[in-house]
Structure 1
Amino acid sequence: MRAFIFPGQGSQSVGMGKALADASPVAREIFQEVDEALGQHLFRLMTEGPESDLTLTENAQPAIMANAIATLRVLEREGNVRLSEKADFVAGHSLGEYTALCAAGALDIATTARLLKTRGRAMQAAVPVGEGAMAALLGADIEKAEALAAAAAEGEVCQVANDNDPGQVVISGHRAAIERAIALVKEHGIKRGVLLPVSAPFHCVLMQPAADVMAQALAGAPLSAPVVPVYANVLAAPIAAPDEVRARLVEQVTGRVRWRESVAAMTEGGVTQFVEFGGKVLGPMVKRISPDATVTSVISMDDIEALLAGL
C-alpha cells in the first residue's frame, strides 16, 4: 500500500517550482491558476523572492501547496496516472493537509489557494508579533515534551504543537513560557530546545481567533468527499465525509499535528511506501517513525520520471 504525503510550512525556498515550470506546461498552468485565484504574482515571488516576502505565512502556505500540487499534476497528466489508483491514503503536515485534500479532489486548487491565504493571514493576525513563539525539542518523546510544557507554563500557554517523530516534538505558546521551557530541557532529559524562526505560535490555543476565521471560511467553501481517505492531523486517523473534514481543519488551527501517530497508523494499516510531493522534509521523519518503509521525494522532472517507472 502507498501513501502520498505533502509538506508543511518551512519547506519553501526561493526558486521553488521554476525548473518544473520550465519543463512542463502542466506545472505552468497550475501556477497561473493559483496566481489568478489569489490576484497576486505568487509564482514570481516563489521563483525570484525576496525570501523575506516568501517566508510570510500568507505567502508561504499557498506557495508550498502550489508547488506540491504542480508536481503531482505533472505526474498525473503527463504520466497518465490516477491518484485513486496509485495511492491508498493521502496526508499532509499542517497546511499540507489542505494540499492532500486538493490532491484527492476534495478541494479545487483555486479554493485551496484562497483558503490557505486566509489561513495564513488569520494565523499571523491572531497573536501580536513578539508575544508568541515556538521551539523544537530535539531528543524528546511526547511524554517528556508534555511534562516540560506543563512545567514551563506557569499560568501561560505552553503546549505540544507538533509530534513530528520519535525524537522531535515542537512546542508553542507565549514567548516567555517557551523560553522557560528551553531553559528547562536538560532537567527533563531532553537533548536541546531550539527557538524556531516563526512569526506566530501555531497549533496552540492562542490561535483561536484564526480558528474562528477558518470556521467561517470553510463553511462557505465547496468541499467534496476525497477520492481516497485523508489522514487528519488532529485525529491521526483517516476521514472522508466533507462535514468532518471541515470540522477537523478548524480544530487543526489550535490542535496538535499528530504526524508521528499518523505515519505509525498508516504503517500499521499496511502502507509500506510513502511518496512526498514538493519537498524533502517529511521523508526523514517517516524513516524515523517507520524504518522499514520506502520513502521517495518528488520535486523535479527526473524524480517524476523515476517514480513513474516504479508505479
Structure 2
Amino acid sequence: MRAFVFPGQGSQKVGMGTDLAAASAAAREVFEEVNDALGQDLAKIMAEGPEETLTLTENAQPAIMANAMAVLRVLGREFGVSLAEKGEYVAGHSLGEYTALCAARSFSVADTARLLKLRGQAMQAAVPVGVGAMCALLGADIDKAAKLAEAAATDPATGAKEVCTVANDNDPTQVVLSGHAAAIDRAIAMVKDFEIKRGVRLPVSAPFHCPLMGPAAEAMDKALTATPPGVPILPVFANVTAQPVADPEQIHRLLVEQVTGRVRWRESAIGMGEVGVTHFVELGGKVLGPMIKRSFPDATVTSVVSMEEIEALAKEL
C-alpha cells in the first residue's frame, strides 16, 4: 500500500518550482491558477524572492502547496499517474494537510490557495510579534518533551503559568514546542535537566499549533464554513488524531483543531504503517521522508521535486 505525503512550512526556498515550470506547461498551469486565486504574482516571489517575502507565512503556505500540486499535476498530466489508482491514503504536515486534501480533490487548487493565504494571515495576526516563539528539541522523545514543556510553563519568579506545549511530534528524535517566548526560552535553558541533547529556537514569526492561536482557529472555522471541504477521493490521515478521515464535516472540525493542536506526525507515520502502508511518496519536498524513516524504519520513502525525479517515480509506479 502507498501513501502520498505533503510537506509543511520551512520547506520553502527561493527558486522553488522554477525548473519544473520551465519544463512543463502543466506545472505552469498550477502556478497561474494560484496567482489568479490570490490576485498576486506568487510564482514570481517563489522564483525570485526576496527570501524574506517568500518566508512570510501568508506567502510560504500557498507557495509550498503550489509547488507540491505542480509536481502532482505533472505526474498526472504528462505521465498518466492517478492518485486514486496508485495510493491508498494522503497526509500532510500542518499546512501540508491542506495540500493533501487538495490532492485528494476535497478542495480545488484555487480554494486551497485562498484558504492557506488566510490561514497564514490569521496565524500571524493571532499573536503580536515577539510575544510567542517556538523551539525544536533535538534528541527528545515525546515523553521528555512533554515533561520539559510542563516545567517551562511556570515562571519561577512569579509562579505564573504561561503557554508552553508540544506543537509538532515529528519523529522519535525531534519534537517542537510552542508558546510564550519567555517559556520557550526557559525550555531551551532546561533541556539538559531532561536529558535532551539540544533546544534550538526556530526562526518563525508566530507560535503555531498552541492555544495562543485561538483567534486563528476561529478565523479558519469561518473560512471553512464558507468554503467547505468535499469528500476526498482518498482518506487523509489527520494531524490532530493520526487517524484516517474522509467525512467532510469531520475534516472541517479537525482542520480547525489543527490550528491550536499538536501535529502528530510520528504517530501518523506509524499509524499508516499499521494499516498496511509500506511506501511513502513525498511530493514537493524532501523534509518528511527522513522523519518517516525514523518513525517507521521499514518504510520505503521516495521524495519527488524535480522533473527527473517525477520521471523516475512514474516508471516505478
Question: Which whole-Å CA distance do the structure 1 matches of 2:21 and 2:238 have between them?
Answer: 30
In the alignment, structure 1 residue 22 sits paired with structure 2 residue 18: no
SS of match in other structure, 2:227: coil
Deviation at 1:291, TM superposition (A): 1.1
Question: Which whole-Å CA distance do the structure 2 matches of 1:249 and 1:16 have between them?
Answer: 26
What is aligned with 1:309?
315
Question: How does the TM-score come out when normalised to structure 2?
Answer: 0.98
What is aligned with 1:290?
296
SS of match in other structure, 2:75: helix
Residue by residue, what CA displacement relative to the aligned partner does 1:126-181 show, whole Å, maximum 9, x if unpaired?
00000000000001000000000000001000000000000000000000000000
SS of match in other structure, 2:190: helix
Question: 226, 234, 244: which is aligned to 1:228?
Answer: 234
Which stretches in structure 1 are left out of the alignment for 5+ residues? Answer: none
Residue by residue, what CA displacement relative to the aligned partner does 1:244-303 show, whole Å, maximum 9, x if unpaired?
000000000000000000000001111110000000000000110111111101101100
For residues 183-222 of structure 1, what are the structure 2 equivalents within 5 Å? Answer: 183-222=189-228
Question: How does the TM-score come out when normalised to structure 1?
Answer: 0.99
Question: Which whole-Å CA distance do the structure 1 matches of 2:37 and 2:134 have between them?
Answer: 31
SS of match in other structure, 1:136: strand
Question: Which whole-Å CA distance do the structure 2 matches of 1:268 and 1:128 have between them?
Answer: 41
Note if contact 2:228-2:248 (Cα within 8 Å) is conserved in structure 1. no
What is aligned with 1:120?
120
What is aligned with 2:157?
none
SS of match in other structure, 1:69: helix
Question: Which whole-Å CA distance do the structure 2 matches of 1:223 and 1:123 have between them?
Answer: 20
Question: Which whole-Å CA distance do the structure 2 matches of 1:79 and 1:88 have between them?
Answer: 19
Deviation at 1:222, TM superposition (A): 3.8
Question: Which whole-Å CA distance do the structure 2 matches of 1:262 and 1:293 have between them?
Answer: 13
For residues 147-158 of structure 1, what are the structure 2 equivalents within 5 Å? Answer: 147-154=147-154, 155-158=161-164
Count residues with an aligned counterpart.
311
Q: Supply the AA of the counterpart residue of 2:143.
A: E
Moved more, 235-244 or 216-225: 216-225
Q: Runs in 1 of length 4+ with deviation above 6 angstroms?
A: none
SS of match in other structure, 2:135: strand
Q: Supply the AA of the counterpart residue of 2:264.
A: R
SS of match in other structure, 2:303: strand
Residue by residue, what CA displacement relative to the aligned partner does 1:175-232 show, whole Å, maximum 9, x if unpaired?
0000000010000010000000000000000000000000000011042110010000
SS of match in other structure, 1:156: coil
SS of match in other structure, 1:276: strand
For residues 4-83 of structure 1, what are the structure 2 equivalents within 5 Å? Answer: 4-83=4-83
Question: Which whole-Å CA distance do the structure 1 matches of 2:219 and 2:260 have between them?
Answer: 12
Deviation at 1:309, TM superposition (A): 0.6
Question: Which whole-Å CA distance do the structure 1 matches of 2:275 and 2:228 have between them?
Answer: 30
Which stretches in structure 2 are left out of the alignment for 5+ residues? Answer: 155-160
Deviation at 1:80, TM superposition (A): 1.1
Question: What value does the CA root-mean-square deviation take over the aligned residues?
Answer: 0.5
What is aligned with 1:262?
268
Note if contact 2:228-2:252 (Cα within 8 Å) is conserved in structure 1. no
SS of match in other structure, 1:94: coil
